[in-house]
Amino acid sequence: MDLLTPELGLFFWTLIAFLVLFFILRKFAWGPILSSLGDREKSIADSIATAERVKGEMTQLKSENEKLMAQAREERTLMLKEAKEMKDRIVNEAKEQAKAEANKIMIDAQQQIQQQKMAALTEVKNEIGSMAVAVAGKILRKQLSEAEGQEAYMQMLSEDIRLN
């Protein structure tokens, strides 16, 4: 049991060594350790605060980004709508212009057909007139070549003069 119960001198010197070591550590080690722990705690708190601030900014940037994306989608939709309307308008204008040109060509063609028809009718009338004159001339020559025919013709002319 001697080993289990320390003597009073050993206890005293161990206590003095412990107290000396305790005061030395308190004076030289705990101050810097506690100040470095305080600094570290402050730096961690600052880092957490910065992280929270950055997280808030990121949330704000994310919401702004979503707003910008929504606005860009709306603008894209509007631009596509305007482009479609412009395309439809251009196509309709081209169709109307093509119809107008087709109508103009049809009217010009009808006028040319009418003019050619009138020219052909005039030419046919002139041809018929000259043929009638030629036939009448031949008939009159044949009838007037004989003496009896000449007398009958003169008789007819004199009756016409009397009637007038």
Encoded tokens for 143: 């009838």
In a domain, 63, yes or no: yes
Q: How many domains does the chain have?
A: 1
pLDDT of residue 147: 72
Q: How many CB atoms are located within 10 Å of the residue 152 CB? A: 13
- Residues 144/153, Cβ–Cβ less than 8 Å: yes
- Shortest CA distance to 144 belongs to which of 136, 158, 128, 161? 136
117 pLDDT band, cuts 50/70/90, is very high
In a domain, 64, yes or no: yes
pLDDT, one tens digit per residue, over 137-160 is 777 777 666 777 777 777 877 777
Question: 49 pLDDT exceeds 70?
Answer: yes
Question: 74 pLDDT exceeds 60?
Answer: yes
pLDDT of residue 161: 76
Give the single-character DSSP code of 146.
S
In a domain, 155, yes or no: no
In a domain, 18, yes or no: yes
Q: How many CB atoms are located within 10 Å of the residue 51 CB? A: 10
Rounded Cα distance, 152 and 140, in Å = 12
pLDDT of residue 2: 62
Mean pLDDT of the chain: 88
In a domain, 152, yes or no: no
pLDDT of residue 144: 67
* Average pLDDT score over residue span 48-70: 95
| Structural domain for 82, as ranges | 8-121
